[in-house]
Structure 1
Amino acid sequence: MKKLPIIIALTTSITATNITKAQSTQKGYQANPFTLVYEGAITENVPGKVNIHPVSYKLNGIDIAANIYTPADYDASKKYPAVVVAHPNGGIKEQTAGLYAQRLAESGYITIVADAAYQGASGGQPRHIDKPANRIEDIHGMADFITRYAGVDANRLGILGICGGGGYTLKAAQGDKRFKAVATLSMFNSGEVRRNGFQNSQLNTIQQRLKQASDARAQEAAGGKIIYAGVADITDEEIAKTTTDLYREGYEYYYRTHAHPNSTFLYTMSSLPDLMTWDAATNMDLINQPLLMIAGSKADTKYMTDEAFKKATNASKELFLIDGATHIQTYWKPEYVSQAVNKLLEFYKSNLF
């Protein structure tokens, strides 16, 4: 969003309209016993159908909350291919990552999606730390857990990263060769955007923002108040005035139609030095696994997928565009989700069987 700073004051305004919407949203996620907020979500585990299994495990001393989806007629004595799903920035396992995990399970895969450390229902203090090394380690941790899960064939492990999870997936796959097939959907290069601004709109303030973030870290280290960047709340009027599809539709998705109390656009300002000096599209030559990158043809984030894809040297790579889709529409719109899922199934079938 060219007119919205990457580092902004914590928004805390609450209007009567937002209270009403929050109450409506609360009823929405509470209506599902697993608090899933996507269309067609599992509401109960039924024998013979796709089931969901909430699990928790330790990763570097932090409690990680995850959901595992098992296919219909799951038999722990058999062997199944598996897919790790990495959620978007600000997202959690109950939103689009869960939707794609469930859809893949419907086609015979065991899938896992976990909340990032310091985020969602996972542990870690202070809350909302958002550093690339942590997010990449989250992906390795999901692989550690799912490859030891009953019925999983560790030699047939794939990965899907969505939005920011897509950028972290590219980095995780460079060194983790347990992943035999690597896919991204609407990939978002968190480092590039935090550094340069969305669509390179903040190139002139990089050093200023780095200084601001460094000061925030110093304040934390001295026992001072934690400073947060991002958006805590937003009015309908502010959403309507947002000029980019990514942020306007993102606010609608995360704060209105698919809101969940564990999902937030906040992150510690002290995370920014790590983010701003990192880039998802470096060392793409280290990915020797088959690579599929999916993006909406109308996505204003597509330039990030294009940049990373161009740098990939592996002959077994494919760029698949969903005609007419924006970034956020690939999260939920049935016709676009179906196209993405069908392409993923084709890709995984070719490389995990």
Structure 2
Amino acid sequence: MSKEEMNTFGLVYDGALEKNEPGKVNIRPVSYDLNGLKIAANVYVPADFQESGAYPAVVVAHPNGGVKEQVAGLYAQRLAELGYVTLAFDAAYQGQSEGQPRNTDKPQNRVEDIHGAIDFIVQYRGVDRSRVGILGICGGGGYTLRAAQTDKRLRAVATLSAFNTGIVRKNGFLDSQIHTITERLEDAYRAREDERAGREVRYTPDMLTMTPAEAKELPFDLYRDGYEYYGIMCRHTGSGFSYTVSSNIDLFAFDARVGMEMIDRPLLMMAGKAADTLYMTEGCYERATGTKEKELFLIDGATHIRTYWYPEYVDKAMDKLAEFYAKYL
């Protein structure tokens, strides 16, 4: 039996809640409407939560390919243990949220997901709408940075292992596909035409279909560690790395660095010091000129994916988040 099947809420991270108990952090599965789509989410409430109270809240945006039951849920639970009401949600078209074609992965959707999550949490009973923050992880971090440029309801903005999805989809990781941009765009438009004509929806390859031996030969830590996390340690049926080929039309035009100067809220950007994605966090951080209250926090020894689940790295990230949100929320 898998971790997902063993847990009441389908959670797959270590230390996950197994049931709701009085006097402890509780989890409340919820859904809400976003532009006609039903979004699936989990609200984590602190121990002895009272709807008559006024609690600070944090929205947690999951990584590319991830779902709310994985790392987003882990950090949401840990933050709830510190007294925050937290919301971990599945992006539209992904996980348990509605949307067709499945695994459409467009930046405008992911950014709107974040605005919609904030819409929901500021109206949640017991939440102080003047004390709402956000934590974006991996791709959710890149989209969080874009959403935070205009959504001034956010009082504190944090990212973990931020990933600039559009640049990677366009150029390939570390510019490994930069010479095939035009060819891949032409293919994306053919896929779009297929969808419009009612033909089969085409998807990109899914790393999780590899064998462990094949995964060991992948060229980057990000992908080798990603296979270990998503394919073995925290596997979930809703999680995967295959997205519609037509999504590339919009993804290729997205760059999380653009507009960073518009963030005028306290900003914390965390990343593994050994991560081969560190350049993405640094590129966004350098352009965050609109706030003086900003910090780049590097976690010694950590690679990108290991900030998701290695206890020593999660603890370091949580200690920093506890300090950050306590100061600004």
TM-score range, shorter chain: over 0.9
- State how far apart, in whole Å, the 2-side matches of 1:221 and 1:78 are: 49
Partner of 1:23: none
Tell me whether 185-194 or 205-214 shows the greater mean CA deviation. 205-214
Partner of 1:136: 111
- Percent identity over the alignment is 60
Partner of 1:305: 281
- State how far apart, in whole Å, the 2-side matches of 1:320 and 1:113 are: 23
AA partner of residue 259 (structure 1): R
Map 1:276-315 → 2, pairs under 5 A? 276-313=252-289, 314-315=291-292
Partner of 1:269: 245
**Structure with the larger RCO, 1 or 2 (CA within 8 Å, 6+ apart):** 1
Q: Pick from 36, 48, 52: which aligns with 2:11?
A: 36
1:317 counterpart = 2:317 = no
- State how far apart, in whole Å, the 2-side matches of 1:27 and 1:157 are: 35
1:106 counterpart = 2:81 = yes
AA partner of residue 335 (structure 1): E
Give 3-state SS (helix, strand or coil) of 2:130's partner.
strand
AA partner of residue 149 (structure 1): Y
Partner of 1:12: none
RMSD: 0.8
Partner of 2:97: 122
- State how far apart, in whole Å, the 1-side matches of 2:308 and 2:150 are: 27
- State how far apart, in whole Å, the 2-side matches of 1:336 and 1:130 are: 29
AA partner of residue 125 (structure 2): A
The gaps in structure 1 that reach 5 residues or longer are 1-25
Tell me whether 225-234 or 278-287 shows the greater mean CA deviation. 225-234
- State how far apart, in whole Å, the 1-side matches of 2:265 and 2:248 are: 30
TM-score normalized by the length of structure 2: 0.98
AA partner of residue 239 (structure 2): S
- State how far apart, in whole Å, the 1-side matches of 2:3 and 2:71 are: 15
Using the TM superposition, give the Cα deviation of residue 331 of structure 1 relative to its aligned residue in structure 2, in angstroms: 0.2
AA partner of residue 224 (structure 2): R
Give 3-state SS (helix, strand or coil) of 2:292's partner.
coil
Using the TM superposition, give the Cα deviation of residue 222 of structure 1 relative to its aligned residue in structure 2, in angstroms: 1.3
Give 3-state SS (helix, strand or coil) of 1:89's partner.
coil
Partner of 1:194: 169
Partner of 2:25: 50
Partner of 1:333: 310
Give 3-state SS (helix, strand or coil) of 2:15's partner.
coil
Using the TM superposition, give the Cα deviation of residue 240 of structure 1 relative to its aligned residue in structure 2, in angstroms: 1.2
The gaps in structure 2 that reach 5 residues or longer are none
Using the TM superposition, give the Cα deviation of residue 333 of structure 1 relative to its aligned residue in structure 2, in angstroms: 0.4
1:234 counterpart = 2:210 = yes
Aligned residues: 327
- State how far apart, in whole Å, the 2-side matches of 1:348 and 1:256 are: 32
Partner of 2:55: 80
Partner of 2:36: 61
Give 3-state SS (helix, strand or coil) of 2:2's partner.
helix
Partner of 1:11: none
- State how far apart, in whole Å, the 1-side matches of 2:3 and 2:49 are: 29
Tell me whether 204-213 or 83-92 shows the greater mean CA deviation. 204-213
Using the TM superposition, give the Cα deviation of residue 230 of structure 1 relative to its aligned residue in structure 2, in angstroms: 3.0
Partner of 1:22: none
Using the TM superposition, give the Cα deviation of residue 214 of structure 1 relative to its aligned residue in structure 2, in angstroms: 1.1
Runs of 4+ in 1 over 6 A off after TM superposition: none
Give 3-state SS (helix, strand or coil) of 1:332's partner.
coil
- State how far apart, in whole Å, the 1-side matches of 2:2 and 2:169 are: 34
Q: Pick from 279, 297, 319: which aligns with 1:342?
A: 319
